[in-house]
Structure 1
Amino acid sequence: MSDIRDDVVEGFEETYGYSPSGIWSAPGRVNLIGEHTDYNLGFVLPFAINRRTIVALGLRDDGILRVASAFADEVAEVEIADLSPERLQGWPAYPLGVAWALAQYGADLAGVPGVDLFIESTVPVGAGLSSSAAIESAVAVALNDVWQLGFDRATLAKVGQLAENKAVGVPTGIMDQSASLLGRGDHAVFLDCRSLESSLVPLGFEEAGLQVLIIDTGVSHSHATGGYAARRASCELGARTLGVPSLRDLTVDDLPRAQQILDDETFRRVRHIITENQRVLDTVIALRETGPHAIGDLLDASHISMRDDFEISIPELDLAVETAQLNGAIGARMTGGGFGGAAIALVPTEGISRIQVAIDGAFAEHGFGQPTMFTVVPSDGAARD
């Protein structure tokens, strides 16, 4: 990480002609279990990872925001007074949307100084590891600090979600920002997405001789396209038809009634959410009472549900999961919003190489592009570096 921090400072100085006043960073996240449950006000269990987005910030003596990055050529510029979702386009909508969203949560931006931002990241884009929330969270903590706004982490998570929903136009829940802001080393964040109450759950992977292997299929996904929004609409239809405010209010005991009332597709969407919520609760209990070796079957069942009921997997993800399972993984599932991205496998440390070789071979045999594989470590959340 020290190298990328040097790169960020250098990029800032080359872009703006002076040295930044500080550096902030925020991690991507892996969702251990609980997919698409967040916007249904259910339960999720993500953890922050040791891949981070770094933001260098310098103060200006005017009311202008500028943002640049190592992954785009342009420097976006807007006056703080003119911030609005309609004026924000492309990737700069993520960081600049955060500034706008801070005002929506009560920040008085009338007298704050302008800022220059330069962004770099080691979180893969499009892999389902929440590169977007890492940007939002790093910028949120940086602006919260230099503008002396005094917002707590839970509020900053809401700020990041609002930026993504309104400035970027992606109808995501609050899980990603919460993981990036609230994460702690060797712990997952157990989040109730209705009350926004959270608690830390010890993972104990290293002590148990396990590692989390990320298998990035290289198939990029975009939540702004129709698949994500269509799943959310199905969930909302199911809740309305069943007469509840959200699918969070249903349990597995409600499934027989749901099957009678709903069409087959909507029922399967609803069944995934209801059973996934229960799997999150069961995983938390297993981790706290037994340890990580006990959660493999829950991870496997989650993938089957996403593949068959929610229909958000793709052949590359299915192959990655199946190959990992056949070659010694404790459990495996796709992670993230779906339609591409990455799978995760919980693997004994001594079995990492075997699984990687098997997956490389399986992808080549099926004519798929070679996946990128790396391990991640549950890590701390956003902070000033």
Structure 2
Amino acid sequence: MLQTAFQRYINNFRGFSREVWILAIITFINRAGTMVLPFLSKYLKEDLHFSYSEVGWIMVCFGVGSMLGSWLGGKLSDKIGFYKIMIFSLFTSGLLFFVIQFITSFIGLCISMFVIMVVADMFRPAMFVSLGAYAKPENRTRALTLVRLAINLGFAAGPALGGLIIMNIGYRGLFWADGMTCIVAIVIFWLMVKEKKKTAFRDAAHPGDVLTHSVFKDKPFWIFLTTCLITGILFFQLFTTIPLYHREQFNLSEFETGLLLTLNGVLVFFCEMAIVGYVERKNINKIKIVSFGSLFMAISMFLMLINTWAGILIIMMLFMTFAEMFAFPFSNSVALSRAPKGHEGRYMAIYTMSFSLAHILSAKTGMEIIERYGYQANWFFMGMLGILGAILGIWVYRLIQNEYKTL
């Protein structure tokens, strides 16, 4: 029985092209090297001695740069191809990381953080488009999941390595490490993957491919994006308000909060590919799964209203982790499947921008509600937002079903 389950799990990793595996490997290298991000606010506050307000503004510049970079990356992927954008983005951002360590003024860091994120986040939509080009249509969601696993593994390794570098070399070592991993990752990609000009899998014969002239006229896509934005806002509470709540309400140490986040990473690593494989085999509608993800996130937020028993934090993390596994890999796939031929980059750009916006809104909204009304009001608000996301998801499902009837 155990052997059969293990074999089925391993089978989820079969059938990928060589290029997809290389994309996963370079994503892991790149994300493991993203050591600056978890320590950025700490570096700005403790090493450069900026005020909380100044740190906040630098992070806003960071988020706005990320949004613009996502849009540019998608638009340029359609114009000149994802391959060139990926190489430019990682190589140039690697060089910029070397330079940014020498910038220490407030205005200088606002500008440099904006610029580096514009360049760095051009990579994301281009990488999603490349998966569309290098993965077979039937493997597309699993290929996206494989890359998400690489991202999660990279993020698990990165902070630990970053902490060791800070202890031994100092914060400047992070910038050198981040820059080097960007350059190493893209050199491996350039040497081992050849440019593919056409994304041949896109045609009207494939279910879910609705040919439309402009992304701005695709009503179901924009409603679906609102669901994605909501799931992003709720998920990013894990990295903004929830660690503060752990300390203030339950007096948890950083290590205990870290263990809860590790539980999230371990579950994603072992369960996500199996869930995706099951949904693909049973041909379950992906928009329905994303809606369930939003509902599970809402439940995880409502569970936080129980504030007298610390064990609820583990149950909350279980719901949040399964919500993440339902929402994120399948929303990637839905967004890519909506894009007509030649517009994949634009669609994936707007999709990735929704998460950049969620990152900005999640921290700002959560902190404002907590400051004015307290933690309980924030959990209730976020829970209701999750319910709204699930309702919008069901609406999108019905709109798309009606599209098929009229085809």
TM-score where L is the length of structure 1: 0.29
Would you tell me which structure has more strand in proportion to its own residues? 1
TM-score by length of 2: 0.28
